[in-house]
Structure formats: C-alpha cells, structure tokens
Amino acid sequence: MITAKKVLLVFLPTDSGVDGARSLYTEKEKHPLSQWIGSSMRNLIKKSPFSIPPLSLMILGSIEIPGVEQFFCDMRFEEFPAEIPWDLVGISVQTGMARQAFELADRLRQKGITVALGGAHITLFADSSRPHADILVHGEADDLWRQVLLDLKTGTMHADYRSDNFPDMGIPRPVSKTMLLKNRYFTTNLIQTGRGCPYQCDFCNVHVLNGHTLRRRNIADIVAEVNRFKLHDKRIFFFVDDSINADPVYARELFRQLIPCGINWFGQATTTLGQQPELLETFARSGCQALLVGIESIEPKSREAHRKTQNRATELSSAIRNIRNAGISLYGSFIYGLDGDTLDTPSAILDFISETKLDVPGINILRPIPGTRVFERLKEEGRLLFDPLDITAYRYTFGQEMLYLPKNIPLDAFVESYATLTSKVFTLGASFKRGFAAPSAKTGVLLFNLFYTYLYGLSRHDLSRQIEKGQKKTILPYRE
C-alpha cells in the first residue's frame, strides 16, 4: 500500500500589532499586573474581528491530488507540528515576517524536510530568498501549486515554479474549509471576487503583484460559494477584495444576486461608493454591515505626492455621509506622515473625524514596504531608518516604530504629534460613543475602538521608547 504524501501549509504571525499585541520593548512588562493585562488583551484581540484565516492558503489547501494529503498550521494559534515527518512544507512569506519564515525554513531543511516558499516576498525578492528554500513558487500560485503537488507525488519537483500569465479567474476553483478549526476565527467566510487593481498608490504593492487589470470570477461561482459556505459557518462574510466597488457594473450585479442569500457582510471599498447611489443601495440590500475605506490623507498635496487618485479630497466628506446614511458603518483608514503632511494635519484629521462621524478611525504611520515605489523613493532620498539592502530588516508593527523620516516634520515632533492625535481619537468614552452611534455592526465597531484604544497606547509607548533610546540604527537615517 502506497502511503500518501503529507504536505503542511504554514502561516506565520507578525512580531507585534494585532497578532501579538505586545510592546516591542518587553522589558517594561515586568510588573505582574501589566503582564496580566497584556496577556488578557492579546487573547481577546486574537478572538476578535482581527482573527481571520489566510485565504491564500485556503485556496492552495483546496487543491486535491490523489495520493497527497494537505494540512494547515496557523502559528498564530499553535506550535509547528515537528513530530510529523512531512514530505513537503509550504510557507507563505510576507516581507514583514520574512526573517521568521527563513529561520523556520532553515531549521526544517536541516532536518531533511523539503521546504517550498511562496507569497508576496518570494515573488518580489526571489534571489535573496533562494538560500532558504528547496522550491520557490513565484506569483499567484493557484495553478502552480497543483503542479508542485503532482511533481511531489512523482518525485520530480523543480527548484522554481512560475508562469508567464496570471491564473484565469473565470475557471471555477471551489474553496474548501475542511482544514480550518472554525471556532479559532472570527469568521471563516472569506470570499474573493477577483484580483488586480487599476490604481497606482505608491505605498501599495497590490498592483505590482496582481497587475493593473481587474480580473473577475464568474458571479454564478461566487453565489454558489456563498451558499456552500453558509452550510459550514453562518457568521459574517468578509469580501477580501481591496476595492469591491472598483468595477461598479460587476459589483452591482454580484450583490444583486446575493440579496436572496440573506447574509451579512463586511468588505473594503473606495469612498467613491458614496457617489454611486444604485450600487450603494444594492450593497445595503445585500447585507453590507461595514466597509473599510482607504482615506489615507485629506491633504491634497499628500494625495498627489503618493498617487492617491481614486477620488478628490473635497468629495470625501459627502461620500462618507452618504455611505453611513445607507446604514453601513465605516472604518476610515488614514496615513499620517505622508509627504504633504505638516504639523497642522492632525487637527485637520480630528475635524474630519468629527464632521463625518467615522465609526472606526484608523490612524496609521506610513509603512515603506520593500517592493513599493515609496520604498524606492525614500531609499534614494536617504530617509529610511533601516538597511534597505537587508529586506528582512523591514518588519510590520502596529505603528510601534518609525521606519523613515517624514518630509516636513522633525522626527521627535512627528512622534509627539502622532501620540497626541491618537490619544485624542482613542479613549474609552469615544469608543462607546462610536459603538452606540454606528449605523450597523455596533458590537464590532465597539470592539474595534476598544482594542484600538489599547493598541494605540502600545504604539505611543513604543514610539517614545524608540526616541528615548536614541540608537543610531533606529533614529538616524541609514547610510550605506
């Protein structure tokens, strides 16, 4: 009897933020009460709306090859199952956690386990990833992973798997959730309607990885998937597309057909939705409860500097009011520290939040992700605070460290103004007020605000410590 090949798909947590919710300077957590509060908040946040499974690994884990068994390890919640003799371990690598991924891959390979690396980081930085893997999967892996599994079965695997073309999104690719532990997550109902982005924001790499052209799935396949997912998990649905309204004709027909399904859903959209009345009405009727919208900046100079062209700043307020008046709560994401921002920007953000009554404001610091145009530009201008030649030196944190020098604001003044801004936006009183005033998803809005009150407290603590430590490698721009 031939034994089936055992394949493990691995997802890694970030060092901090919503995965860890801990200070980067843990020596400050010696007091037992502080340790208990920190541990309790980490556990709560893990079980909150932040906690969803990685759709990319759900898609790969749904590929069925006779003679191959696939398993899933989410290291946000469990240890790596080292006691099992895996025939192949596939690790999804994001740049903010590349160092951890490479360390795990190196340990596994030392034990004789074959390791395949894929994901955004591998696609963008294949050469520096090569020493840590037996196999590299470049780009979108929907079709490539099937070939990897077939070659594993026959013992003919290659060092590289790539395709000259993006996967055809029109081909039915049913997603299975059998690998997931349902109660581990806020929801397992993740739906992707397509890939690609027509916009070119310089701080984003979606258009770099997935192309500038929108590629859409067949609506009938999505409706069938929603109905099938409901049988397994009746909780909220999350449409993971970066801009679910980017193709308004497609989106209107999709959600018109989803109205009879009787679901509630969250998603991500542009504020242009507030200027698309028919689509907005369809969203509301189909069960849309809340949307994340990327406001990024209300400063015209910043929007122009970073190619944020989806809508004009003057239209933002009315668009947001229209969406909320349709009964949809809004998470509005800002980036403070863009190249047109000044010390007057925080007051403008506060006024905007008050005027629009945003349900969940997100006040982020610019993250110069390697592989984006903003990273290259800041590197050329000598404004990065980490070694740009060491890509793994970049790490994702929840606004807990500065990775670059703002253009118009001294670093210490920026940190002080950011701390003041977040301390005004996120308080216990403001959290409850927003939760009660939210048009829908009131509990989710309240939880987000409460958790953000805690997380932004961590952010203020760690940023101040970074300034206090005054270490040359973190405070002064990197010089080659």
pLDDT band at 13 (very low <50, low <70, confident <90, very high): confident
Please determine, for residue 20, whether its predicted confidence score (pLDDT) is greater than 70: no
- Report DSSP state, residue 184: G
How would you class 314 by CB atoms within 10 Å of its CB: exposed for 0-12, middle for 13-18, buried for 19 or more? exposed
Contacts of 314 (CB under 8 A, 6+ apart): none
Residue 366 near residue 306 (C-beta atoms within 8 A): no
- pTM for the model stands at 0.88
CA distances from 122 to 47, 78, 93, 203, 381 (A): 29, 24, 7, 19, 26
* DSSP letter string, 256-282: HHHGGG---EEEEE-GGGGG-HHHHHH
The pLDDT of residue 183 is 87
Convert the pLDDT of each residue in 359-415 to its tens digit.
999 999 998 988 888 989 999 999 999 888 887 778 777 788 899 999 999 999 999
Contact 443, 371 (CB under 8 A): no
Name the strands in the sheet holding 88-92, side by side, starting at the edge strand that comes first in the sequence: 68-74, 5-11, 88-92, 115-118, 135-137, 160-161
CA distance 462 to 468: 10
pLDDT at 95 over 90: no
Give DSSP secondary structure letters for 82-102: TTS--SEEEEE--GGGHHHHH
Beta strands in 273-402 (DSSP E): 288-296, 329-336, 360-365
Kindly state the tokens that stand for 209. Answer: 């990885």
Query: Measuring CA to CA, how many Å separate 202 from each of 207, 361, 431?
Result: 10, 22, 32
Q: How far is CA 396 from CA 51, 175, 389, 410, in A?
A: 17, 28, 17, 22
The 288-296 sheet, strands edge to edge: 189-191, 237-239, 265-269, 288-296, 329-336, 360-365
**Which CA distances in Å does 377 have to 169, 306, 336, 381, 391?**
33, 11, 18, 6, 15
Instruction: Give the DSSP H/E element, type plus range, for residue 161.
Output: strand 160-161
Each residue of 129-165: pLDDT tens digit? 999 999 999 988 999 999 999 999 999 999 999 988 8
d(CA 411, CA 475) in angstroms, rounded, equals 8
Instruction: Dump strand ranges (E) for 162-222.
Output: 189-191, 194-195, 215-216
CA 33/CA 53 separation, integer angstroms: 31
Q: Tell me the domains of the chain and their CATH numbers.
A: 5-161 (3.40.50), 187-469 (3.80.30.20)
For residue 86, pLDDT beyond 80: yes
Most confident of 20-24, 181-185, 318-322: 318-322
Amino acid symbol at 37: I
Q: How large is the average pLDDT for residues 159-182?
A: 90
Q: Give pLDDT tens digits for 278-314.
A: 999 999 999 999 999 988 777 665 445 444 454 555 6
What pLDDT was estimated at residue 48? 59
Q: Rounded CA gap, 297 and 227, in Å?
A: 38
